[in-house]
Structure 1
Amino acid sequence: MDAVPGELWELEHALTRIAHLLTRSRRHDHVIAAAGVPVERAAVPLLRLLAETPGPLRPSEIAAALGVEAPHVTRQIQRLERAGYVDRVPDPDDGRAQQVRLLPAGADAVDRVRAVGRRWMVGALAGWEPEERLRLAGLVHRMVDDFTAYSAADCDHYGVSGPPGGPRG
């Protein structure tokens, strides 16, 4: 195995800690209770995606954007439909296909979840200077962009999600 610089070990550790923190079910339970939005943890990214996308999306587009399997998306769409947060509409480009659109109740739910998250972040980062928060945001955006570009190039070059002999994910 190649030697890994110490700062990358530290970065990996920090990313693991934040991923764990942000995806804990207890945190989700607190957020949905505070927001008054009774949805499963897996439904929140789907709602956020629809809120951030102009217009409805096909279930296959949702699955691709979220990096999950189509049956997972179908189950979440069904639950969100029953809750009145989304509905299905005919795809204007293909009469056989359907798209999923966010309903006003779904947009309100996303706004309430985001508001709780923002209040939490304001409290957690209260000791940070505005410039520090902006710098962190810029670095995180840059990291995500670089990870995305590297993943795309890696997949194109090797036809897989990692280099030969390396981890595949």
Structure 2
Amino acid sequence: MPVEHAVAMELSAELIHLVKKIEAIRHYTPRVHPGSEPSTYPVIFALRRIGPARISAIAETVHSDVSTVSRQVSHLVGHGLVVKVSDPDDGRAQRVALTEEGDALVQRLQDGRGKWIQRMLADWDDDKARDFTRYLHEFVGELSRELDRARATGADLPEFPPTTGKDPA
């Protein structure tokens, strides 16, 4: 049975609040490395997950454009967190790889996030956290499928974001 429109609207508002809160919290996160900028985290996290990759592949993975990722990679190279290496499949091209320092930074960030979430959810039990994680994982899967459909058809999503010019939350 499909979700009722009123329930979907409530979920939509909560998701917008979630995104806004995460954006606000970023202003209070400590810098754990001189070269660590929150805007570059998706790049280093992606490299940890997918391994050495071309900038175009990283951009696709993090849902960004090549020029933005290229600037982020230059920043990260300058701080010793990533390095450019020859592409074994095409000697003319380069791949980007995490350095040991970059890998250690990702591990430190992941560990810190885990401890933060653990502290924030101190009143939750493991079952509640696992249920939330499962539902969130399912929702992210639906978002991925929606993104794939939009890319495949080139079609805009219906009325999203709202065309009224007002923040729906």
Bin the TM-score by the shorter chain.
0.7 to 0.9
* CA deviation after TM superposition for structure 1 residue 129, in Å: 1.4
SS of equivalent residue, structure 2 residue 38? coil
Runs of 4 or more above 4 Å deviation = none
Residue 47 (structure 1) aligned to one of 22, 44, 48: 44
Describe the superposition over 1:80-132 as per-residue Cα deviations: whole angstroms up to 9, x where unpaired: 01111000011111111110000110011111111221111011111111101
1:81 aligned onto 2:77: yes
- The CA distance in 2 between the partners of 1:139 and 1:117, in whole Å, is 19
* CA deviation after TM superposition for structure 1 residue 153, in Å: 2.8
Please show how residues 112-131 of structure 1 align to structure 2 within 5 Å.
112-131=108-127
Residue in 2 aligned with 1:11? 11
Provide the TM-score with structure 1 as the length reference: 0.84
Residue in 2 aligned with 1:153? 149
SS of equivalent residue, structure 1 residue 126? coil
- The CA distance in 2 between the partners of 1:91 and 1:161, in whole Å, is 36
C-alpha spacing 1:155/1:60, structure 2 compared with 1 (3 Å): closer
Q: Is the 8 Å Cα contact of residues 85 and 102 (structure 1) preserved in structure 2?
A: yes
Letter in 2 for 1:100: V
- The CA distance in 2 between the partners of 1:127 and 1:40, in whole Å, is 31
Provide the TM-score with structure 2 as the length reference: 0.84
Aligned residues: 157
* CA deviation after TM superposition for structure 1 residue 161, in Å: 4.2
Could you tell me which runs of 5 or more consecutive residues in structure 1 were left unpaired when the two chains were aligned. none
SS of equivalent residue, structure 2 residue 155? coil
Identity of aligned residues (%): 26
- The CA distance in 2 between the partners of 1:167 and 1:12, in whole Å, is 11
